[in-house]
A and B are shown apart, each in its own frame.
Chain A
Amino acid sequence: MNVVNCQKVSKGFQRTNALEDITFQLTDQKITGLIGRNGAGKSTLLKILAGLTKHKSGEVSVFSENPYNNLMVSANSILVDDQMTFPDSLTLEEILGSAPDFYKRWDAQLASRLFQYFMLDFKQQHSKLSKGSKATFNMIFGLSTRCELTMFDEPTNGMDEAARTDFYRALLKDYIAHPRSILISSHHLTEIEHLLEDILLIHQGKVVLHQSLDEVKEYVVAIQGPIIDVERWTEGQEIFHSKNVDGQRLYVVVKNNSKLERARLEGAVIQTLPASEVCMYMTSETKGGIDDVFK
């Protein structure tokens, strides 16, 4: 059974479509990164998967069922984002205490230990937490539910460096001990690259690619060399990025293909890029960079 199966899903707000023709599947228990720029539609997709909003057209199934208004899906999935709210009249301690009633696989020990590690205050109210503490608490909550489908929407927003590192480590350790399907959306692909098994790249509401991390790394390469040569080598190919270096050399990012073998033999400098840069180039609008603004 697929954990998640989307077929041609679209979701719109008035004139624009936040999501269009989204088709992908999540199978098995993996950590998948949902990558995309601001406004690409990541949060919308996650909310649809969590059953918080309805999609406009297409088919969405989580655990083989429509997630909207679905008890089974709600009991086995959780979306952690910065809009997660808890009642104001309950302290953090009481919130954690209410959870086992709902989530049958709740790990109270883990929650309590993480809570103490991050030095949160038991008697505090959720709305009074600082942005970073709130993110930390939400993250602890999400992890402790041990839901079969755990989704994080930019969970580290507001967390400091140390907390972020700790969070990723905690996530990884708990995932290894208790495997589940995890979907993390983040801007900071560099930070979470080491966690991810798969990447789902979204741009302007459409799926750009959905592949394993290794495949994504080899998806494009960067070629650097004299301008004329580079232009010859990359003729007719899909160019994602092109930059003039020192006036004599050209730095071009192209899709990986067999023709580049010849370029290498001719002395081209070909590098693979980290996944974060791959994604960045693949979702950029222009061929140039920010430097062009300041020319």
Chain B
Amino acid sequence: MSNTWMIVLIGLIPVVLAILIVLYITKKVKFKGSLRLNKLVITFYFCILIVFGVVYEILPKEPMLEKMSEEKLQKFQSENRIFEEKLLKQEESILNPKFLKEEWTHEISGKTLSLGYIGNDSYSTKVVVEWVDSNAQKIEGKVYRSHINVYGLKIEDKIPLHEVEWVGNELVIHEPSEQEFTFEQFSNELSLFQHTDTMEIRMVRGFTYIHLKVPKHMEIVDPLGLQMY
């Protein structure tokens, strides 16, 4: 119980501050304008605020970040899910083409292929291996990334792809370097009245998938467990 009370008290501090400010203002503001002046101020203030409102709506603004609706987000989520299912089943043909980011082939020397990850969040990347009948040293790879959406903001373009490079026999996946984006949003609503969570889906977590076609005679060393089965 004491914890909740502490939180309540801390939450009350800004309210108390607000109360003090209000009391101070109402006591101090003794500006006794004449009646005519008061009426003028009242109407003028009202009109100017409405004018501002209209002006804002009409004003040409810089292009703003788009916000996705709930249905679109759900669509994204299901597309992601379907993609992962299909990929695991290795039904390449049905895969969503827009997720394909990179395509390459690489020759390695030797029989061992290792997977490495540089970054904090290795769970963001999943490697799906398809074993093929081949005696060659070629490995085909396709890099996909499924929908990423945070708070409904269309930021997919802003989030850089994982860099994938070959260092000798090691496939190294680099996490994007740290960046911070700040967005501003205006809300027309009072949070006091919104009791239902307006957004059910807060984040669509997309993953980076690497689909490798590896000849059967090779071995994969996967210390971080990047492979998906």
A residues with a Cβ closer than 8 A to B are 88-91, 94, 123, 125
Contacts and interface: CB of A to CB of B under 8 A. Distances in A.
B32 interface: yes
B109 interface: no
Nearest to B35: A94
A94 B34 CA distance: 10
Q: Which bracket fits the contact residues of B?
A: under 10
10 closest A-B pairs (Cβ-Cβ)?
A94-B35, A89-B32, A90-B35, A91-B34, A89-B35, A88-B32, A91-B35, A125-B32, A89-B38, A123-B34
Nearest to A123: B34
Nearest to B38: A89
10 contacts: A88-B32, A89-B32, A89-B35, A89-B38, A90-B35, A91-B34, A91-B35, A94-B35, A123-B34, A125-B32
Contacts, number: 10
Contacts of A125: 32
A89 B34 CA distance: 7
A27 to B, nearest CB: 43
Contacts of A89: 32, 35, 38
Nearest to B32: A89
Contacts of A94: 35
Interface in B32-77: 32, 34-35, 38
A89 B35 CA distance: 7
Nearest to A89: B32
A89 B37 CA distance: 12
Interface in B199-217: none
A123 B32 CA distance: 12
A93 to B, nearest CB: 9
B38 to A, nearest CB: 8
A94 B39 CA distance: 14
Interface string B8-39: 00000000000000000000000010110010
A126 to B, nearest CB: 12
A145 B192 CA distance: 51
Given A89-B38, A125-B32, 8 more contacts: A88-B32, A89-B32, A89-B35, A90-B35, A91-B34, A91-B35, A94-B35, A123-B34
A123 B33 CA distance: 12
Nearest to B33: A89
Contacts of B35: 89-91, 94
A22 B38 CA distance: 49
A287 to B, nearest CB: 56
Contacts of B34: 91, 123
Nearest to A125: B32
A144 to B, nearest CB: 20
